[in-house]
Amino acid sequence: MSAPESLDTLEQVIETFRHRSADETRILLASLRPAEVANVLESFPPKVRFIMWDLIDEESQNHTLQHLNEDVLADFLEEMDPAQLVAASDELDTDDFADVLQQLPQSITDQVLARLDSRDRARVEAILSYDEESAGGLMNTDTITVRPRHALELVFRYLRQRKDLPETTDALIVVNSRDEYVGMLPFSKLLTSDPTVTVREVMDSQAPAIPVAMSDTEVARLFSDEDLISAAVIDSGGKLLGRITIDDVVDVIIEDADEAVLVRAGLDLDEDTFAPVHRSVRRRAIWLGINLITAFIAAAVINVFEDTIVKVVALAVLMPIVASMGGIAGTQTLTLVIRGEALGHLGRGNRTWLVNREFIIAVLNGLLWATLVAITAAVAFQDISLGLVIATAMIITIVVAAVSGSLLPSILRHMNIDPAIAGGVVLTTITDVTGFFVFLGLASLVYA
């Protein structure tokens, strides 16, 4: 559903809920897909959500759980007993149910697992044992496997006996007698090949398998590079553990995109839009405090040159220009580098080349805009010296910002800090301090 259609649906639900009967709202919610229901619930304040939740049948509730963000999901899970969660396991894929359990206290999770049958419990526990942001955390253990020696005719009979297939099944996984991954048998080959030939003759032995410890970001990149719909997941010994499908990869891509936008503002990826005030205040206060510290650092630099600013008032007018230009130049480079790392384009071998490239770009852009600003400042304030000062400061600040933006991601990662989260704050501090110090320092020398 496109964004305009989603908004239309939301407005329709709001209108029905406010001005019509509960039965009409129930009918409207029943006509929506689980992802749409989740979007509707997240668009209401918490108290209203629980009213609407009671208007949804149990099966729809179970399917909706997997589409809710963590904050909203946690609120609903608090009201559900273990028996309800066990019922949800029958409706959800193993990986989706594991995602739900990860939001529960360990004591509740243990109660739910104890009520599952031994087969389902083993599957869920297998996924829970892996990092949530790894291939093991993404995989589904519901797979269909065949042996290389089997004839395609035998495979057809086996599939007909099963009657149904796991969702997003585009190929069968080929394993040997030790359950070690051998290749994939695409349905396109299965349907168009001679039924008497063996799986070994038509399978794709070059189809990539995913190590269970691979990060979800790398999994998404592999799916993109290889145009995959599904892929097998294997352990270090090559034994089949499960499979990952494109729907799970799309979720990873969307989460990464959302994170890139939200973390720069100090917001949590799974923060509820209508979260209680006390919860949002606590989360945002941390980042506001960090930014306040950086602001004090910049203010301390300005205070050092208080006498110079008093003598030349124009400096106070022009200071923000220097810091702003440096901030923009640095942010452009930082964003480019983080994107390059995410796409796997950057490594030790070519990082130096990129730094040199960004240095040259910064020098050229610095000369261009510094010249323009210098002429404008000299004419506006009738002071050629002031124009030269701000031009020099801009060039130095833009160059420092570009080099910092190039190097910060690798430095922060070396310190086990996510550059997408902390990069912007650190870069802003560097550009502000550099810009103010260079501009006011040069002015102090010129106007001493």
Distance (Å, whole) CA 21 – CA 391: 67
pLDDT in tens, 280-311: 677 677 767 877 888 888 888 888 888 888 87
pLDDT of residue 262: 58
Please answer whether residues 39 and 6 qualify as being in contact, where contact means their C-beta atoms are separated by less than 8 angstroms: yes
Amino acid letter, 203 = M
Distance (Å, whole) CA 240 – CA 180: 6
Helix axes 34-42, 46-53, angle to 10 degrees: 150
- What average pLDDT does the chain have? 85
Query: Apex CA 362: angle with CA 358 and CA 367, to 5°?
Result: 155
Distance (Å, whole) CA 189 – CA 176: 19
pTM for the full model? 0.65
pLDDT in tens, 95-129: 788 888 887 778 888 888 888 888 888 888 888 88
> Where do the H-state alpha helices sit in 382-418?
384-414
Backbone angles phi, psi at 167, to 5 degrees: -60, 150
Distance (Å, whole) CA 393 – CA 446: 13
pLDDT of residue 23: 81
Which domains can be identified in the chain, with CATH numbers? Answer: 3-138 (1.25.60.10), 145-264 (3.10.580.10), 277-446 (1.10.357.20)
Q: Are strands 171-175 and 240-245 parallel, antiparallel or unpaired?
A: unpaired
pLDDT at 360 over 90: yes
